[in-house]
């Protein structure tokens, strides 16, 4: 079989769009293929994603309005330099943008502010508060709680001067909610310094530090977010340090190559600039006190502190082997530990602790969290067509990171198919392009206050995305 020169560069370089739409915030797929090329090697690429993510209000949302496409287009670059210093040692620099999110809601729905009708608390939430107070009233008097007594107690509370005062203050507070639509933009950058040791031509052991930056902006708007309608968070770019380690085995004569790579989680500690428009309401303290929020938690709302953001650990398993003349089969399996990931900006968390009892979350809640780890698989076949042309076909599957899932990324995994083509004008250079079509998994979307429960505010179904990629490579 003529497989010796069918390197990973020739086949996998035609897949620059491998991981552009995956579970949670996963974006690049964090491939190590460039570092595992023979000799000295350089590549640069760009991937572009065009998603269509639309849905409908559902669950606890009382209306059933349509939600137009909220997934923004985005692109991200990648680059790699690998130097074979001698027969035993190699060094590589890998740049990618591993995690990110781009989304924006528009139109007339629960994720876009409507100053004429938005309320700090929904009618259902107010009814829940009244019911709770009614039960407390009955129990304090030793009266059995049943439908008849509960109805009477609720009427008594609604007619009380204290509740009328509270309702009036809430009505005024409604004017301090946000305007515009919900949107999120999160960007990360990774620079990996990889040192490799090759004791024989078959084995490669590698490890090194990873520098990572994170920055982003989040705006919550609309009735779905209740009193967070008007919340903004600006995450200034911050840098954290992690590491990677792995091992590879190859038999060049049959184009066999397998590698296993672990990447550590990376901590970022930063002061997030947070604003909540409702905090500008002068009577907020008395309103919250009327909702039985403890004074100690009221004092903490305006405090300042640092937020820790920890990007997840991951494992990549890559494999390829020759299966016939000029043809290889390849596969990638990726695991990302999203189950242990969450973001709770400092002030967001303090507010959530203060109002948590109102939504059955006395210990507060997160802005974003996921319930499951991500598993993804991409597999395919690549073939050398002529001395200058090669191509491949692939299929992919992604498990998603749980369902229901955050309103800031309301899809549950995907299936995809891809096509790639590579042109090599010389034995040392190539230009590759690829395209992938994604069938995005249906998902129920929930706010941070609902995470961990069966409640949700919208459903997203029958969505798709298309990704394009371009890459050039040079062996020297």
Q: Is the dihedral of CA 310, 189, 392, 39 positive or negative?
A: negative
| % of the chain surpassing 90 pLDDT | 79
Of 342, 341, 343, 333, give the one whose Cα is nearest residue 373: 341
Burial of 285 (0-12, 13-18, 19+ CB in 10 A): middle
Over range 78-89, report the average pLDDT.
97
Tell me what pLDDT residue 193 has: 98
In this predicted structure, the answer to whether residue 1 has a pLDDT above a threshold of 50 is no
Token digits for 357? 């009892």
Over range 214-231, report the average pLDDT.
97
Over range 11-19, report the average pLDDT.
50
| % of the chain surpassing 70 pLDDT | 95
Tell me what pLDDT residue 2 has: 45
Residue 373: CA count within 13 A, CB half-sphere:
10
Beta carbons of 193 and 93 less than 8 angstroms apart: yes
Over range 97-110, report the average pLDDT.
95
In this predicted structure, the answer to whether residue 242 has a pLDDT above a threshold of 50 is yes
Tell me what pLDDT residue 169 has: 94
Q: Is 354 helix (H, G, I), strand (E, B) or coil?
A: helix
Average pLDDT of the chain? 92
Over range 455-472, report the average pLDDT.
94
In this predicted structure, the answer to whether residue 18 has a pLDDT above a threshold of 60 is no
Tell me what pLDDT residue 300 has: 83
Every domain of the chain and the residues it spans: 8-118+177-475
In this predicted structure, the answer to whether residue 89 has a pLDDT above a threshold of 70 is yes
**Is the peptide bond between 404 and the residue preceding it cis, with omega within 30 degrees of 0?**
yes
In this predicted structure, the answer to whether residue 65 has a pLDDT above a threshold of 60 is yes
Q: How far apart are CA 310 and CA 300, in angstroms?
A: 24
Residue with tokens 């009244």, as numbered in its chain: 130
Q: How far apart are CA 460 and CA 443, in angstroms?
A: 5
Tell me what pLDDT residue 222 has: 97
Q: How far apart are CA 418 and CA 433, in angstroms?
A: 11
CA-based end-to-end distance of the chain: 26
In this predicted structure, the answer to whether residue 46 has a pLDDT above a threshold of 70 is yes
Over range 161-190, report the average pLDDT.
95
Q: Domain spanning 8-118+177-475 has what CATH number?
A: 2.40.160.60
Residue with tokens 């700090």, as numbered in its chain: 120
pLDDT digit string, tens, across residues 176-194: 999 999 999 999 999 999 9
Tell me what pLDDT residue 358 has: 81
| Alpha helices (H) in 247-331, listed in sequence order | 284-290, 295-300
Where on the phi/psi map is residue 448: left (φ > 0), alpha (ψ -120 to 50), or beta? Answer: alpha
pLDDT digit string, tens, across residues 419-453: 999 999 998 999 999 899 999 999 999 999 999 99
pLDDT digit string, tens, across residues 264-285: 999 999 999 999 999 999 999 8
In this predicted structure, the answer to whether residue 473 has a pLDDT above a threshold of 60 is yes
Q: How far apart are CA 437 and CA 116, in angstroms?
A: 41
Residues belonging to the chain: 476
Over range 26-35, report the average pLDDT.
92
pLDDT digit string, tens, across residues 353-404: 999 888 778 889 999 999 999 999 999 999 989 889 999 999 999 999 999 9
Over range 52-79, report the average pLDDT.
95
Tell me what pLDDT residue 62 has: 95
Residue 289: CA count within 13 A, CB half-sphere:
9
Report residue 11's pLDDT band, with 50, 70 and 90 as the boundaries.
very low
Tell me what pLDDT residue 124 has: 86
Who's near 211: CB < 8 A, 6+ residues apart?
190, 191, 192, 193, 239, 240, 241
Tell me what pLDDT residue 23 has: 66
**442 secondary structure, DSSP code:** P
Tell me what pLDDT residue 12 has: 46
In this predicted structure, the answer to whether residue 104 has a pLDDT above a threshold of 70 is yes
Q: Is 471 helix (H, G, I), strand (E, B) or coil?
A: strand
Among 47-61, 245-259, 348-362, 392-406, name the one with the lowest average pLDDT: 348-362
Q: How far apart are CA 246 and CA 145, in angstroms?
A: 63
pLDDT digit string, tens, across residues 145-155: 999 999 999 99
pTM, entire model: 0.93
In this predicted structure, the answer to whether residue 246 has a pLDDT above a threshold of 90 is yes
Q: How far apart are CA 257 and CA 278, in angstroms?
A: 57
Tell me what pLDDT residue 342 has: 95
Of 151, 61, 47, give the one whose Cα is nearest residue 97: 47
Over range 319-338, report the average pLDDT.
92
In this predicted structure, the answer to whether residue 19 has a pLDDT above a threshold of 80 is no
Q: For 291-398, list the strands marked E by DSSP.
A: 307-311, 314-324, 327-336, 342-343, 368-369, 374-384, 389-398
């Amino acid at each position: 079989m003529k497989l010796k020169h069918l390197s990973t560069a020739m086949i996998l370089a035609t897949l620059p769009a491998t991981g552009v739409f995956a579970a949670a915030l996963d974006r690049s797929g964090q491939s190590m293929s460039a570092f595992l090329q023979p000799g000295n090697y350089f590549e640069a690429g760009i991937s572009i994603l065009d998603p269509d993510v639309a849905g409908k209000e559902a669950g606890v949302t009382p209306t059933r309005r349509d939600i137009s496409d909220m997934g923004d287009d985005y692109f991200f670059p990648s680059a790699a330099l690998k130097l074979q210093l001698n027969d035993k040692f190699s060094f590589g620099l890998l740049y990618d943008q591993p995690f990110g999110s781009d989304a924006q809601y528009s139109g007339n729905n629960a994720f876009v502010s409507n100053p004429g009708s938005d309320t700090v608390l929904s009618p259902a939430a107010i009814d829940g508060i009244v019911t709770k107070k009614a039960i407390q009233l009955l129990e304090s008097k030793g009266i059995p709680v049943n439908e008849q007594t509960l109805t009477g107690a609720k009427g008594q509370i609604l007619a009380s001067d204290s509740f009328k005062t509270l309702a009036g203050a809430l009505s005024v507070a409604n004017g301090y909610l946000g305007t515009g639509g919900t949107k999120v933009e999160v960007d990360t950058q990774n620079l990996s310094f990889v040192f490799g040791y090759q004791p024989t031509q078959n084995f490669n052991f590698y490890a090194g530090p990873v520098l990572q930056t994170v920055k982003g902006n989040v705006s919550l708007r609309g009735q779905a977010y209740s009193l967070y309608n008007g919340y903004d968070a600006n995450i200034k770019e911050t840098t954290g340090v992690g590491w990677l380690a792995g091992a590879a085995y190859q038999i060049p004569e049959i184009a066999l190559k397998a590698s296993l790579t672990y990447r550590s989680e990376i901590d970022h500690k930063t002061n997030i600039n947070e604003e909540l428009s409702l905090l500008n309401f002068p009577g907020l303290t008395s309103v919250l006190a009327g909702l039985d929020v403890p004074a100690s938690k009221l004092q903490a709302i305006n405090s300042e502190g640092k937020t820790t953001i920890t990007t997840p650990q991951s494992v990549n398993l890559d494999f390829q082997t020759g299966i016939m003349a000029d043809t290889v089969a390849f596969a990638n399996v990726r695991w990302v530990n999203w189950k242990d990931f969450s973001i709770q900006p400092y002030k967001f968390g303090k507010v959530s602790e203060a109002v948590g009892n109102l939504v059955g979350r006395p210990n507060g809640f997160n802005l974003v969290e996921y319930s499951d780890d991500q598993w993804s698989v991409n597999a395919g076949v690549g073939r050398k067509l002529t001395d200058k042309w090669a191509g491949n076909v692939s299929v992919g599957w992604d498990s998603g990171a749980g369902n229901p899932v955050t309103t800031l990324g309301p899809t549950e995994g995907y299936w995809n198919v891809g096509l790639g083509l590579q042109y090599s004008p010389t034995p040392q250079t190539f230009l590759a392009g690829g395209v992938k079509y994604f069938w995005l998994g249906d998902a129920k979307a929930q706010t941070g206050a609902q995470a961990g429960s069966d409640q949700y505010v919208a459903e997203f179904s029958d969505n798709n995305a298309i990704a394009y990629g371009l890459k050039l490579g040079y062996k020297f």
